[in-house]
Amino acid sequence: QGITLVARQALLSDIFASIEKQSDYTFFYNDQLLDKISKVDVNIKDARVDDALKTILQHLSLDYQIKGQTIFITEKKQVSTDHLQQFRVQGKVLDEEGKPLPGASVKLRGSAKGTVTNAEGAFTIEASSGDVLLVSYIGYTEKELVLTDSSQLTITLATASNSLDQIVVVGYGTSRKANLSTAVGSVKGEELLERPTAQNLLQGMAGKIAGVNISLNSGKPGGNPAIKIRGTGSINGSNTPLYVIDGIVGADPTTIDPAIIQSVDVLKDASSAAIYGSRGANGVVVITTKNGDPNTAQIAFDNTLSFGSLPRELDLLDANESLEMFKRQYEYVPGRLAPHLDPDNAFKRKDDLFNSDGTPKYQVNWQREATRVAVSHQHALTFSGGKDNIKVLANISYRNNQGIMLNSYYKQLNGFLNLDWDVKSWLNIKANINAGGYQSNNIDNNTLGLNPLRETLEYLPFLPVQYADGTYSRKGDYPGAENSENPVKLLNEVKNVTGRSQSLGNLMATFHLTDKLDFNTSVSGQLSSGYTHYYGGRTVYDVGENQQGVAQRAHTDFGSWTTENYFSYNQSWDKHHLNAVAGASWYYYVTSTDQAGAEGFFDDYFQDNNLGTGTTPQIPSSGKTENQLNSYFARANYNFDDRYLLGASFRVDGSSRFGKHNKYGFFPSFSAAWRISQESFFKDMNTGINDLKLRASYGIVGNAEIGDYVTLNRYNNGQAVFNNNYESAVTLAGLGNPDLRWEKAKQLNVGLDLSLFQGRLLLTADAYNKRNDDLLYLRKLPVTTGYTNVFDNIGSIENKGIELGVNAVTMKKGDFTWSTGYNFSLNRSKVIDINNDVIYPWFGRIIAGGPLNEFFGYERLGVWGTGEAEEAAQYGKKPGDIKYQDTNGNGAKDADDRVNLGNAMPKWEMNMTNTFSYKGFSLFVDLQGAYGNHVISLARVLMVNPGPNINSFKSILDAWTPEHQNTMLGQLRVNSDGFDNEGGDSFNVEDASFLRIRNVGFSYQFNKDWLQKIKLNSLVFGVNVENAALFTGYSGYDPEVTSFDAALNQGVDVYQYPKPRTISFSLKTSF
Amino acid sequence: CTKFLEEEPASFLTTDQYYKTEEQIHAAANGTYDGLNMPFASEITLAASPVYALEYITGYSRRPRPTGGDDDQFLLLQNIQNSNGRFETWWNATYIPIENCNSFIANVSQTSVVNEETKNRFLGEVYFLRAYYYFRAVRLFGSIPLKTEPTLNLDNIQIGKSPIEEIYNQIVSDLQFAENAGLPWTDKSGRVNLAAVKSLLAEVYITMAGYPLQKGANYYQMAYDKSMEVINAGEYSLFASYADLRDPAKNNSGEHILMNQRDQKNATSIIHFHFMPYPEPSKPVSVIPNMGGSMAPTTAFYDSYAADDLRKQEKQFFFKVSNTPFIYKFWDDEAEQTSRSGANFPLMRYADVLLLGAEAKTMVDGGTTQDAAALDAYYSVHKRAFPSSKRPSSISTDDVLKERYWELCFELHTWFDMIRTRKAFDVENDRIVSLIGFKAPNHNRAFEEKDLLWLIPLAEIQANPNLK
């Protein structure tokens, strides 16, 4: 449908109004300009807007320009002869959806000149070349640009965080937050940069969205945080959300530079996630990268230099105290002497270590020896701009992060290019390329073994790093101790470098088929290649020594392609607005792995770089897996008068992973919202409420993350030994379940969005009930079948919760602004059914009727006293032994005595950011709190028990003696004297509630007028302290911790890499 | 789009692609040996392994390194519960390999890919192994499910227990198949051989003669006859010295009828380093001293050896550190050079067969025998320990039983001898006594009837309530 105009002697303004009616375009012009024009005749039938305008204006002194949905009418440029300093700037201010923003303030910096946009968002202002135009609007981020000529400007303002006008990316489209009927949490790009030492997107997101629990479980450089959206729903399936970067489904979020991210939207409820049906069961994180601005060519250069250090040392025994502990251990048997006190025990290093009276010669603080001040720096260089119909952004970023443990590091180099091109009026092309790589030295491998983190705590303080003769000490140099390698030597001589290089490309075309109908098609591909290079040296105890050096190399190559194709349709009539999307996608993923290794090296020189040098090759291994997905989807959103909002989506997903009959799953969802504040009765009530919306949604999403090929009957192909020779051996590996189908997460969400005080206070509240049914569950089989388990759809898990998010301009007085962001979330999980199985994760138990992440074990009551000898004997114990609660009262300590010992997930958690700004100064404080969570530290289990043959915490000297009986710690003794060490008992499960000052930042933005003189656009200097302070009763380094998977084993601290406190200095400039 | 979503695995085979070639059959037969090693390879933690439970329960061994609940239940004979993980390991090490055997038998019995001779030889090995696994399990757990067909789907998977006798009948029938399958008398590569089949059959018969089936004299006679077939074949002989038992060059020959096959490079054995002394002596006896302490003889058991018994001499079956005896029987010299033990573990020894034959004959003859062959069998084992001893003119069952304790200790035989005879060796008083009521040196209390059978693991009962 084109433009049809038949008129005689019509006013131009009427003609334009008529075109506006027939199209989505609005005109923008200066009335005076039209006054000069006489009336015109037109006769146009079914023409394109472009053609219509050409015809109308061809003989007039007017020109036109189409930008987005706006047509600018200007004077025809004459060959300019004047060199007037002053010129007239015309422009239009739009929001991110391209809608005009009336009432926006437009000023020239350093001048009193200013104006306000009219109802169409348009403005005119007199300016001269070099002036800086400032455009601002409440709820939006201020924008500035340098004026060079009088060309027409289209200025798009981005919304400030959490404004109701914010544009939210909802998957295959966008929506204004005010018109959302589902639960979506959003973070703006600049918020991700509030903490400059955040090493990736997820770290930057931590604490920003209610209900999105991001645990920074490790302090290692590049350490990968664990994300949990609305609790854990699956036991054997994956619990990580789906990531979508610029429409690329399943992209890796950790490698992209947070500096180029425009926004992150988290689709939390089933209704919003259902459009990604198949993989949305754990929520969807939609990431949108920045685009160039066609009005300004800009170069931004951001730099951060930071210094990290160990924020607190654990209270370990010093040399004298450690020896006191050993002395007491040996004296458990009267007359038995500790090795350093026993004149008959002339062990090898005795004279090197001890004076003749048994006092130590060395005092070593291993936490100090094994750590350092970590110096890190990161840089990002971003070019952005555009011309006419092209917008471009190019970014290169480099980060070199040292860890606080010696020799640990993470380095990353990444390049990114984003292109947005209106090739034709009917065709838009978007292209992304992201390529780069990282490398890190993981000193914390061998989690359960004798790794350097563990040795840093367990190593004895009376042993030197190196003896006078240059040799490193070993723990076994003291005969009362378990032998192990020195942590400093482990850090220096074990190499475990992992890395990856990856590239990701996406090309998306949008065809504007009609004014209302678009067709989008995209093809994206990802390639990545990961590697591990390992070498344990020839003299490193327990790592390489026994094999005379161990070298390994492993590679994992991933490849994938996706194509997404969909129509989107927009229709408005009267007060009705309809938006619909329908399409299909195909996805293919392949992984291949290989590994080789060798042992027996004559020299440490080669490390893993010449496996052929090793005399004993290890058996090499390799593998390959593939999987495919095919989906069809549709969604419709209907909006009546901005008052009643309805949405529905349907998706059908097919996965190669399921059995023949159940490859496809169906995932519907529905949502509705009522914007009460738009009702006239409400407006009449004068409540002071600007916006109030009630929402409800229900939907079903799926989970297929179970690994490939589990529905097939599988053989395991290995080797059998016959008289030291190897022969192929094949055994049954798994029973396929051809009936396996999708796990389904059904979720009901109700919420409200509230805006008060002209948008100064925004509140979002949600309550949800999410139930995962047909769990992809490793059902236990009777082993008489020959198999221990099989994947089956069994069981249910429920997560209920409440989320609250508040954004407020707490105070605004003159140049002073104090703004606050607060979020609170509460989640309760409950296992409804797991086939009557009982699962024992680390120190925990999962059982129907109980919550997930529950610790489970014996209740420690204290220590049997000298007066209780008789009662203790019943249990085979004697005074000085640990006393446990006999829960079932059967007179014996048995498995039935175990009880629940607390949950690893907090009862509630909250985050709060406060920003105070005054002129160029701003102060930023980020608080994080969790209440009611518990942690078990393996360091405490192994080091604070009656008989550690390693170093311990100072608290161990509180152990039982006949003179000091009121204690939780059994009488000290040497390891082989025997004692109960139950690990996960009530003494070792600690309350880990905490409050953390996660970040304190101070920044100064230099005066722009002054900067202009040195041709700089902006210059910001900042100082930040990350992990500034931690208040907790937990005895380990940090209560926000797990060493295993966060889904089922949160709060299990196995010598986790401590989180540093980092002071950073950042300098951001653009010109 | 169904084609697009089809799975075509590249790194493993699926069942519909299998049993098409002789090589595939060979590889699957090799896979059925897995169950011999499974208890040695499962649930290994620091100096701990489920295999030792089979010795801890006898009460003649101790565990130098402290441990937690599961092992203590056996070590102290205290509060044994069906949640004990050791039961689960032994249970799984029964039925997982049996399923491999069942699947192999079902597929290969019908195949025409190989000729009858080859087919029978492979089937013979696998029938033997299925019998071996069932025999191990029926003695440990008593009445258990008998399953001889492979699992094809999830229908009817909760099967009930079968009477003990029915399981024995299956074992005998499987072994009889193996006996006639054309297997060679010996096999240096360590595969199942005819001697292993006949030796196991002898042990099955003597067990059926004793507890719990108590089939009596006939079966003792059959046990005697079967062992005599092995002895008279002359294919096996006792090693001249105990050190030969540890010599890798002599694996799968001489005295070793069947062994659990290991290799130093990739299929290492836990035994050598686990048996190192604990606490670690200040002067280490091993290149890897810190893995030891899993098992050592109780002093009472060690002291039961006569002073001049060669087996008691230093570095024969035991060695002493700080005047405490530790096990030397499985010491691996090569492991001390390479830090990895590739030593095989003996499953069936010729000495065992000799003593079995002798014991069976004493039972046939009413408690003592003067049968020359039986005397020779007993005497050959005894004489190696006491070279200057004289050939006795008669032997009693108790003589043979004691010899079994001393000769076969810590080779995972003792418990089975105890429950089939319902007798124990009262080491402090040097006499064979009734098992019930006997308090073994390391135990907290005396054996009771309920201790004689292991408990069906809790996890299995939960998955199959029919086994309650």
Sign (positive/negative) of CA torsion B172, B177, B180, B183?
negative
Among A619, A713, A727, whose Cβ lies nearest the Cβ of B15?
Answer: A713
- Given a cut of 70, is residue B262 above it in pLDDT? yes
Q: Is-cis flag, bond preceding B279, omega within 30? A: yes
Asked whether residue A512 carries a pLDDT value surpassing 70, the answer given is yes
pLDDT at A224: 67
Q: What is the Cα–Cα distance from A1 to A956, expressed in whole angstroms?
A: 84
pLDDT at B43: 85
Give how far the C-alpha of residue B318 lies from the chain's centroid of Cα atoms, to the nearest Å.
Answer: 20
Token pair in block for residue A570: 């927009």
Residues of chain A neighbouring B82 (CB-CB closer than 8 A): none
With contacts defined as CB-CB under 8 Å, which chain A residues touch B63? none
**Listed range (A465-469, A587-591, A957-961, B7-11) with the worst mean pLDDT:** B7-11
Question: Min CA distance, B79 vs chain A (Å)?
Answer: 7
- Output the pLDDT for position A83: 47
Q: Select from B18, B188, B462 the Cβ nearest to the Cβ of A723.
A: B188
What are the chain B neighbours of A895 within 8 Å (beta carbons)? Answer: 69, 81, 83
Contact flag B262-A339 (C-beta cutoff 8 Å): no
Give the pLDDT mean for A870-881. Answer: 90
Contacts of A557 in chain B (CB under 8 A): none
Q: Cis omega before residue B212 (within 30°)?
A: yes
Q: How far apart are CA B28 and CA A453, in angstroms?
A: 44
Mutate which of A731, A877, A974 to test chain B, going by most B C-beta atoms within 10 A? A731
Q: What pLDDT does B322 receive?
A: 86
Q: Note the pLDDT of residue A275.
A: 78
In terms of CA atoms, which chain B residue is nearest residue A663? Answer: B5
* Residue-level pLDDT at A252: 81
- Whether the CB-CB separation of A554 and A520 falls below 8 Å is answered with no
Instruction: Please give the mean pLDDT across all residues of chain A.
Output: 88
Mean pLDDT of A3-25: 83
Quickly state the pLDDT bin for A324 (edges 50, 70, 90): very high
Please tell me if residue B79 touches chain A, with a CB cutoff of 8 Å.
yes
Percent of chain A having pLDDT more than 70? 98
Contact with chain A for residue B103, Cβ under 8 A? yes
Q: Left, alpha or beta for A121 (phi > 0: left; psi -120 to 50: alpha)? A: left
Phi/psi zone of residue A283: left (φ > 0), alpha (ψ -120 to 50 degrees), beta?
A: left
pLDDT at B350 over 90: yes
pLDDT tens per residue across span B147-164: 999 999 889 999 999 999
CB contact under 8 A, B158 and A894: no
Q: Does the pLDDT at position B341 exceed 70?
A: yes
A vs B, Cβ pairs < 8 A, gives 223
Q: Is the dihedral of CA B422, B424, B430, B433 positive or negative?
A: negative
B120-155 pLDDT tens trace? 999 999 999 999 999 999 999 999 999 999 999 889
Task: For residue range B45-59, list pLDDT tens digits in order.
Answer: 888 999 999 999 999
Sign of the Cα torsion B142, B147, B152, B158 reads negative
Judged by CB atoms closer than 8 Å, whether chains meet at B78 and A979 is answered as no
> Which residues on A lie below 8 Å from B460 (Cβ)?
782-784
The percentage of chain A sitting over the pLDDT mark of 90, rounded to a whole number, equals 53
Task: Reduce the secondary structure of A159-228 to three states and give it as a string.
Answer: ECCCCCCCEEECCCCEEEHHHCCCCEEEEEHHHHCCCCCCCCHHHHHCCCCCCEEEECCCCCCCCCCEEE
Q: Which two tokens stand for residue A205?
A: 């997101």
Contacts of B146 in chain A (CB under 8 A): none
Q: Kindly report, residue by residue over A750-800, the tens digit of the pLDDT.
A: 999 998 887 788 899 999 999 999 988 888 899 999 999 999 998 999 999
A720·B31 Cβ contact <8 A: yes
**Structure confidence at residue B68 (pLDDT):** 67
**Strand-pair partners of A1022:** A1003, A1066
Tokens of B41: 């390879």
Residues in chain A: 1071
pLDDT per position as a tens digit, A443-461: 888 777 788 999 999 999 9
CB interface of B with A, residues 22-61, below 8 Å? 23-24, 26-28, 30-34
At residue A455, the 3 state secondary structure works out as helix
pLDDT at residue B460 is higher than 90: yes
Handedness of CA B174, B177, B182, B185 (dihedral sign): positive
Set out the domains of chain A in order of their start, with CATH numbers.
1-77 (3.55.50.30)
DSSP code at position A961: B
End-to-end C-alpha distance for chain B, whole angstroms: 48
Of A656, A672, A529, A636, nearest to A593 by C-alpha is A529
**Torsion sign (Cα): A452, A456, A459, A462:** positive
- Residue B5 has its nearest CB partner, among A542, A656, A836, at A656
> What string of DSSP letters covers A384-435?
EEEETTEEEEEEEEEEEEE-SBTT-EEEEEEEEEEEEEEEETTEEEEEEEEE
Highest-pLDDT range among A197-206, A367-376, A387-396, A1043-1052: A367-376
CA angle A621, A624, A626 (to 5 degrees): 165
Per-residue pLDDT, averaged over A669-685, amounts to 89
Q: What percent of chain B has pLDDT over 90?
A: 85
The answer to whether residues B183 and B194 touch, using CB atoms and an 8 Å cutoff, is yes
Written as six digits, the tokens of B353 are: 């067969």
Token pair in block for residue A133: 């135009």
Residue B50 CB burial class (10 angstroms; 0-12, 13-18, ≥19): buried
Report which of A220, A182, A189, A218 is spatially closest to residue A204, judged by C-alpha positions. A189
Confidence at residue A84, expressed as pLDDT on a 0 to 100 scale: 47
Q: Do B28 and A730 touch (CB under 8 A)?
A: yes
Is A103 within 8 Å of A117 (Cβ atoms)?
yes
Residue A505 C-alpha, separation from nearest chain B C-alpha, in angstroms: 23
pLDDT tens, residue by residue, B398-418: 999 999 999 999 999 999 999
| DSSP letter assigned to residue A486 | -
Mutate to test the interface with A, among B1, B3, B5 (most CBs of A within 10 A): B5
Residue-level pLDDT at A628? 93
Q: Give, for A1005, the enclosing helix (H) or strand (E).
A: strand A994-1005
Question: CB-based contact (8 Å) between B159 and chain A?
Answer: yes
Task: Name the strand (E) or helix (H) holding B373.
Answer: helix B372-385
A322 CA: distance to closest CA in chain B (Å)? 19
Interval A69-127: pLDDT, tens: 788 888 776 544 444 467 778 888 888 777 788 888 888 877 777 888 888 888 888 88
Q: Per residue in A971-1020, pLDDT tens?
A: 999 887 878 777 789 999 999 999 999 999 999 999 887 888 888 888 99
The reply to whether B459 touches chain A by the CB within 8 Å rule is yes
**A889 Cα to chain B: minimum distance (Å):** 14
Predicted local distance difference test score (pLDDT) of residue A163? 65
What SS3 state is found at B60? coil
Query: What pairs with residue A725 in β-bridges?
Result: A722
B463/chain A closest Cα distance in angstroms: 5
Ordered by where they begin, the domains of chain B are 18-183+453-467 (1.25.40.390), 271-343 (no CATH)
pLDDT per position as a tens digit, A469-508: 999 999 989 988 888 899 999 999 999 999 999 999 999 9
- Is A4's pLDDT higher than 90? no
Residue B434 contacts A, CB cutoff 8 Å: no
* B chain contacts of residue A733, beta-carbon cutoff 8 Å: 12
Tell me the pLDDT of chain B averaged across its residues: 94
Structure confidence by residue, pLDDT tens digits, A618-669: 989 999 999 999 999 999 999 998 899 999 999 999 999 988 888 999 999 9
Q: What is the pLDDT of residues A888-928, one digit of tens each?
A: 998 888 888 999 999 999 999 999 999 999 988 999 999 99
Nearest residue in B to A654, CA atom:
B5
Could you give the 3-state DSSP secondary structure of residue A157?
Answer: coil
State residue A1015's pLDDT score.
83
Q: In B, which residues are within 8 Å of A729 by CB distance?
A: 27, 30-31, 33-34
Minimal CA separation from B251 to chain A, in Å: 7
